[in-house]
Amino acid sequence: MGCFTERRPPPARTDVAQSSGAIYTISLAGAFTILYSFSGTDGCAPRGALSQGNDGNLYGTTQRGGFGGLDYGTVFQITPAGALTTLHSFDNTDGSEPLAALVQGTDGDFYGTTSSGGAGGWGTIFKITPTGTLTTLHIFENADGAQPYGGLVQHTNGAFYGTTSSGGSSGDGTVYRLIASLHPFVKTLPTFGKVGTTVTIMGSNLTGVTSVTFNGSAAVFTVLTSYEITAIVPAGATTGTVQVATPSGTLSSNTAYQVLP
C-alpha cells in the first residue's frame, strides 16, 4: 500500500499539500494558511485532530507514510511556527494506521491507538513521550476488541477509556478500560476565567473536600456530588494549578487554570 495510493480516489487537485496531506491554520476572520505539507516519508494522510501539549507544541498522527519506506503511519510534533518533527514511524509490529487524536496524560506523555497492526493485526494502544520514545501498552487480540478507530479519554480516576469498532464476544466491538498507573486528578470546567467566576471541578471521591485553592489562593467551594464541586475564583488568584484537599489526599488539576485579567 503506497502513500500516494488512496483507497478512495480524492478530488483532482494540483497543489502540493493535497498529495500527502497538510496542517493549516485559519484565523477567526477566515485567513487560511498552510502551516506544513507532508511529503510521505514524514507522514501521509493525517486523520485525527491535533492535540496541544503542555509545552505549547501540537501533536498528531498520520494514517500512513513514514521513514525508511515504511507506510504504516507516524506520530509527529509541530510547533506553532510550523517546524515539524516525526517522533515515530510505525512498523506494523508496534501498530499501523493510527486514526484518532492523541490525548496527553497527567504524566505528560501522549496516549493513542492504532486501528490495525500488532501481532494479530487487530490494533494497539500506545504511549509516546514528547521526545519520541514509544511504548506499546496493549495489543488487541480480537476477543478483547479489534480495530480501535477512536482515541482515548482519561477519567479523573487516572484510567483511560476507549472503544473498538469490532471484536469482542459478539464481534460488534467493545468498550474498554486501560489502567496505566496514573494518579487521580481533578478537571476544571472551564479552564480559564476571571476572579469571581464560578468554576465546576470534576473528580472522584470529593464528598469530604476540606479546601480548594487556585495556585495557592483559598477559594469558597460547594460540594454537589462525590464527583462534582463548584468553586469561585478568589481575589488574588493567579494562573496555576487548582488543588482540592480530600481525606484521602490532595488532588491537582490536570492543566493550569488561566486567570484572566
Using CA atoms, how far apart are residues 228 and 73, in angstroms rounded to an integer? 39
In a domain, 5, yes or no: no
Contact by Cβ (8 Å): 35, 25: yes
91 and 28 in a common domain: yes
156 and 129 in a common domain: yes
Domain that holds residue 101: 17-178
Residue spans of beta strands (DSSP E) within 53-173: 58-64, 74-78, 84-89, 103-104, 110-114, 124-128, 134-139, 153-154, 160-164
Q: CATH code at 232?
A: 2.60.40.10
152 and 89 in a common domain: yes
Q: CATH code at 173?
A: 2.120.10.30
Using CA atoms, how far apart are residues 201 and 230, in angstroms rounded to an integer? 6
213 and 108 in a common domain: no
157 and 39 in a common domain: yes
**Domain termination site, one of 157, 178, 199:** 178
In a domain, 76, yes or no: yes
Written as tens digits, the pLDDT of the chain (261 aa) is 456 444 444 444 444 445 799 999 999 999 999 999 999 999 999 998 999 998 999 999 999 999 988 899 999 999 999 999 999 999 999 999 999 999 999 999 999 999 999 999 999 999 999 999 999 999 999 999 999 999 999 999 999 999 999 999 999 999 999 999 999 999 999 999 999 999 999 999 999 999 999 999 999 999 999 999 999 999 999 999 999 999 989 999 989 999 999
Using CA atoms, how far apart are residues 229 and 219, in angstroms rounded to an integer? 12
Q: How many domains does the chain have?
A: 2
192 and 159 in a common domain: no
In a domain, 92, yes or no: yes
Handedness of CA 197, 200, 203, 205 (dihedral sign): positive
148 and 99 in a common domain: yes
208 and 119 in a common domain: no
pTM: 0.86
In a domain, 11, yes or no: no
